[in-house]
Amino acid sequence: MRRSLLLSLLLMGAIGSGDAMAATPTTCSPLGSRLAASQITSTFQNQLVCAQKMGAITGNDRWAEEHRSSGELWEQGKGTTSKVHPPTKVGAWKSVEGTKVKGKSANDDLVRYDYSGGSTFNWSVFEKNVAGTKTYTFCTSNESTVIATATLKTPNPSSTNACGF
């Protein structure tokens, strides 16, 4: 009896920890389909990307960036109605085709962010569609580390930040 009780508790703990791990993944492979360069462009173009690092609670761990079709990247701040923190151009974005290894079909395309201060970041992007709700995960180019998760909103030039932060 003790043995079956112990096994039941261990199994429940394993299931519970599996659910917790699914909520906060640390590697990118199970997070949906990796987007190709053309998909990155068509998905993010003229969209407001509402992104946050895992467990984010402060402004530094969350960001709202409008990906304009011109390639410009605009931080939404508190929105266009804010006199304190209005939208500001912060750099540029583009999708980048990777260097495909001959004979392999692996997608290694990226989104590249070139910020005005000189920083450049290259991320792989994964899309997951659950019951019609799409979420995006930004990962290191080698897919080993989750950087942030995101949703998309349509920018509204006459409102507050659509991301809510």
CB atoms within 10 A of CB 32: 17
List, for residues 9-65, the tens digit of each pLDDT value: 223 333 333 333 344 455 686 788 999 999 999 999 999 999 999 877 777 788 999
Instruction: Please tell me whether residue 10 adopts helix, strand or coil conformation.
Output: helix
Taking the C-alpha atoms of residue 103 and residue 54, their distance in angstroms, rounded to an integer, is 35
Amino acid, res. 44: F
**pLDDT at res. 81:** 65
List, for residues 112-165, the tens digit of each pLDDT value: 999 998 999 999 999 999 999 999 999 998 888 999 999 999 887 667 778 877
Give the C-alpha distances (Å, rounded to integers) separating 15 from 20, 70, 85: 9, 47, 44
CA atoms within 13 A on the CB side of 146: 24
Quick one: CA dihedral 48, 54, 57, 61, positive or negative? negative
- The answer to whether 5 touches 78, Cβ cutoff 8 Å, is no
- The answer to whether 79 touches 161, Cβ cutoff 8 Å, is yes
